[in-house]
């Protein structure tokens, strides 16, 4: 009887872990069915520090990858945020004024869009952005406008003798998603018609930049109508806003042939983007946060969140329409491929360097600890 009872208890002990394993496997299949992406690691996981799965398509140097700057918020340094439409810039702009841990935080009063972001103990701004200085250089000013306007505007606002150091930053987004998001925004009534588009000290003429609609706005525009307007600034917007437009005669399309113009614009946008102090990607919120913090030695109070359920994501596109959007934004597609490659290379470079520094620090601490124990051992001997 005792033998049978012992065997029964042993069977129970074996059966329990087997049932537990089966339960986990069944639960996993239910939560993570085959072919599902719901259980893949998301951007919020920063522990992908191994070598790149694919080598970079571009020959980036260590100087291109190392973007740490000695940002002196108490001195003469200024962060300038180039805000491209529908790239998540509003969210990122709010992070800059409300979510950075500072000795003197930005003063954000309830009900007001703009915050006062002064240096500690000074009546000077360390941030030039929509939510700090407003649209001082025009609505959604581009690289051409900002680089010519920011120093002049800040000199007028602040009496400063020392030369400022300007650190330009921006956000980019997948071109198809960005384009669809702009279409939905315009469909709801947005126009940005007060934008100046200043280049070589003047705005474009009506002939140089015809409007796509008559009336006050383009409300209710269909995607087909949106795509059919040849002068629609939504096309290749990211390249246009990052390039030096004076190199191509600004908005005068007759100054050179289209192929030459496109080549110069793309090359200029890539160069300006690479040389910026920092840029982030809407699709990689946590990596964007990580790289900004390491670039400027500033820390955010709360973590960035990845929101994938956007209006653009909910648009049901046929393959033909998607290809058409990519054709209309073929410069942006090339720029984003370059930007994503460089961004991920920078992220990996920074993570690896940070891990090396941690290992070196631990090694030095062990050496100091071992050195401090040697006299004790001698005394005991």
Q: How far apart are CA 281 and CA 43, in angstroms?
A: 11
Active site residues: 140
Residues forming beta bridges with residue 199, ordered by sequence position: 202
16-30, 221-235, 318-332: the lowest-pLDDT one: 16-30
The least confident of 2-11, 80-89, 254-263, 289-298 is 2-11
Dihedral sign from CA coordinates of 128, 186, 195, 216: negative
Question: For residue 380, is pLDDT > 70?
Answer: no
State the sign of the Cα–Cα–Cα–Cα dihedral 69, 74, 75, 81. Answer: positive
User: Poorest-confidence range of 31-40, 62-71, 84-93?
Assistant: 31-40
pLDDT value at 177 more than 70 = yes
Q: With bands split at pLDDT 50, 70 and 90, how would you rate the model's confidence at 106?
A: very high
Q: How far apart are CA 183 and CA 230, in angstroms?
A: 14
pLDDT higher than threshold 90 for residue 195: yes
In whole angstroms, give the CA distance from residue 156 to residue 147. 15
- Joined together, the tokens standing for residue 96 give 């800059």
The residue count for the chain: 381
Q: At the topology level of CATH, where does 62-348 sit?
A: Rossmann fold (3.40.50)
Q: Which of 31-35, 83-87, 229-233 has the lowest mean pLDDT?
A: 31-35
In this predicted model, which residue has the larger pLDDT, 216 or 24?
216
Element (H, E) at 144: helix 143-157
Mean pLDDT over all residues of the chain? Answer: 88
Q: Tell me: pLDDT of 47 over 60.
A: no
Most confident of the following: 13-22, 49-58, 266-275: 266-275
Please list, in sequence order, all residues whose beta carbon lies within 8 angstroms of the beta carbon of residue 244, skipping any fewer than 6 positions away. 143, 144, 268, 272
As a whole number of angstroms, the longest Cα–Cα distance in the chain is: 102
Of 28-32, 204-208, 241-245, 327-331, the least confident: 28-32
Confidence check: pLDDT of 51 > 80: no
Domain boundaries, the chain: 62-348
Can you give the pTM of this predicted structure?
0.83
- Given a cut of 60, whether residue 359 has pLDDT beyond it is yes
CA atoms within 13 A on the CB side of 91: 17
CA–CA distance from 67 to each of 81, 169, 292, 370, 375 (Å)? 16, 12, 9, 36, 44
If one compares 161 and 92, the residue with the highest pLDDT of the two is 92
- 258-309 residue pLDDT tens: 999 999 999 999 999 999 999 999 999 999 999 999 999 999 999 999 988 7
Contacts of 227 (CB under 8 A, 6+ apart): 324, 325, 328
């Amino acid at each position: 009887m005792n033998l049978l009872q012992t065997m029964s208890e042993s069977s129970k002990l074996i059966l329990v872990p087997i049932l537990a394993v089966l339960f986990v496997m069944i639960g996993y299949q239910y939560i993570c069915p085959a072919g599902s992406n719901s259980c893949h690691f998301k951007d919020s996981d920063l522990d992908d520090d191994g070598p790149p799965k694919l080598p970079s398509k571009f020959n980036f140097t260590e100087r291109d990858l190392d973007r740490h700057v000695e940002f002196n918020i108490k001195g003469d340094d200024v962060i300038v945020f180039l805000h491209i439409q529908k790239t998540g810039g509003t969210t990122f702009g709010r992070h800059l004024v409300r979510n950075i841990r500072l000795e003197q935080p930005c003063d954000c009063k309830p009900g007001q869009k703009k915050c006062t972001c002064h240096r500690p103990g000074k009546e000077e701004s360390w941030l030039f952005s929509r939510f700090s200085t407003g649209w001082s250089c025009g609505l959604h000013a581009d690289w051409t406008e900002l680089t010519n306007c920011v120093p002049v505007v800040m000199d007028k606002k602040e009496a400063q003798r020392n030369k400022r150091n300007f650190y330009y930053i921006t956000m980019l987004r997948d071109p198809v998603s960005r384009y669809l998001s702009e279409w939905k925004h315009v469909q709801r009534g947005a126009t940005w018609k007060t934008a100046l588009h200043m280049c070589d000290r003047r705005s474009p003429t009506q002939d140089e930049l015809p409007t796509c609609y008559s009336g006050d706005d383009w409300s209710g525009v269909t995607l087909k109508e949106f795509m059919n307007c040849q002068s629609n600034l939504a096309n290749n917007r990211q390249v246009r806003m990052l390039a030096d437009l004076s190199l191509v005669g600004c908005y005068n399309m007759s100054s050179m042939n289209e192929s030459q113009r496109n080549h110069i614009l793309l090359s200029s946008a890539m160069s300006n983007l690479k040389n910026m102090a920092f840029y982030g990607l809407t699709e990689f919120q946590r990596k964007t946060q990580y790289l900004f913090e390491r670039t400027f030695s500033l820390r955010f109070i709360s973590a960035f969140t990845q929101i994938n359920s956007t209006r653009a994501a909910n648009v049901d596109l046929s393959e033909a329409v998607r290809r058409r959007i990519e054709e209309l934004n073929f410069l942006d597609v090339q720029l984003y491929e370059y930007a994503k490659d460089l961004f991920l290379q920078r992220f990996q470079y920074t993570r690896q360097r940070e891990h090396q520094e941690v290992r070196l620090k631990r090694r030095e601490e062990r050496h100091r600890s071992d050195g401090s124990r040697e006299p004790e051992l001698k005394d005991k001997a």
